Amino acid sequence: MKDKKLVLKDGTLFEGISYAADKDFIGELVFNTSMVGYQEIATDPSYKDQIVVMTYPLIGNYGVNADDGESKKCHLVAMICHEYNDCPSNFRYTQTLSEMFLDSDCGLFGGIDTRQLTRIIRDKGSQIGLITDVDKPLDECLKIINDYKEPHDQVSQVSTKRKFVSRGIYAKYHVVCIDFGTKMNIIRKLNEKKCNVTVLPYNTTADDVLALNPDGLFLSNGPGNPEDNEAAIKLVRELKGKLPIFGICLGHQIISLAYGAKTYKLDTHKMKYGHRGGNHPVKNLDTGHIEITSQNHSYAVLDDSLLNTGLRKTHINLLDNTIEGVCDDKNYVFSVQYHPESAAGPEDSEYLFDKFINNMKQFGGKKNA
């Protein structure tokens, strides 16, 4: 443990304790309202280059284990908490959270008023923060922050470099997953639905996909600006109508862009700190049902831009009325902005995986008719 401080762009300081790697950390400050799931959050590739503030006051008390990670390492820059417990009580735990962060060379910063910090982010929007030594001069800290450049092309850094296959028991369908930073629980859910899943890199071509003769295409979650992913946008345009397509989070945004809609960063519209947590209410416009959802995104699809694209709005966020789902019924394409795989989070939206299975079944019957 070592005394550190968090410096915000406006000069606000928070002094606390570092429990992991002893070095400077800089990134976009965001907050997550989940009460549990810190291991899943830390290992979610969508958090790349971000410092995550946990609003729940205590983390670390159940440790981490070998089964619940969403990838093989931490992808966030650092995690900030009010109180950290380094003595877990859980029969499943294999490491403490600080040990996992040390292995990934990430920051774990605690002992500060996370309520005050969350209010700053909520009121002023997401901003750059620096975790550094307590004796580093403020002017030097602010220069580092002001010189920080927003990262781009993050998907290429988290995507798989080679093809791999995850097989389901008694599999009936073959799904190709384009990996923009896939959470492993998505693949687990597809396996549970009797799908073999072939995972391919982010820059895979349409010919590469069709050569595998899949029953469906899945577009994963991932970090960064969706407009950076030109190859994936082209892929959707070329495969639309040739097989069922399902997208989650970044995959949802890429599908929307491929159809001609536009995306924007939430710090410029509506909720200026993005959506992150396990308790966001979403309305299914087809059924009228309200789903409590898990979310993690800074970008959204611009509502007005859907006009004349061939996509219709299927879900909205009840906190700010942003788009949470779109669909092209004719071509068996649909997507959601939130995370129905529920890792961590509620299971209200698992029916979407069944919808994908049903689309593949119907499309296969139509193709063979």
Q: Which residues are catalytic?
A: 249, 339, 341
**How far, in Å, CA of 330 to CA of 124, rounded?**
42
The two three-digit tokens of residue 24, written as one number: 């400077």
The C-alpha torsion from 185 through 186 and 191 to 193, rounded to 10°, is 120
**How far, in Å, CA of 209 to CA of 239, rounded?**
9
Nearest by Cα to 357 from 171, 222, 167, 201: 171
The two three-digit tokens of residue 158, written as one number: 């988290």
The two three-digit tokens of residue 302, written as one number: 């611009």
The two three-digit tokens of residue 282, written as one number: 């979403």
**How far, in Å, CA of 358 to CA of 352, rounded?**
10
Neighbours of 82 (CB within 10 A): 19
* Cα dihedral across residues 42, 45, 51, 57: positive or negative: negative
State the amino acid at position 155 in one-letter form: V
Specify the DSSP element, H or E, that contains 248: strand 245-248
The DSSP result for 124-173, as a single string, is H-SEEEEEEETTS-HHHHHHHHHHPPPP---HHHHS-SS-EEEPPTT--E
Residues in a beta bridge with 291: 282
Burial letters 240-254, b for 16+ CB under 10 A, else e: beebbbbbbbbbbbb
**How far, in Å, CA of 121 to CA of 124, rounded?**
5
DSSP assignment letter at 246:
E
* Cα dihedral across residues 122, 128, 132, 138: positive or negative: negative
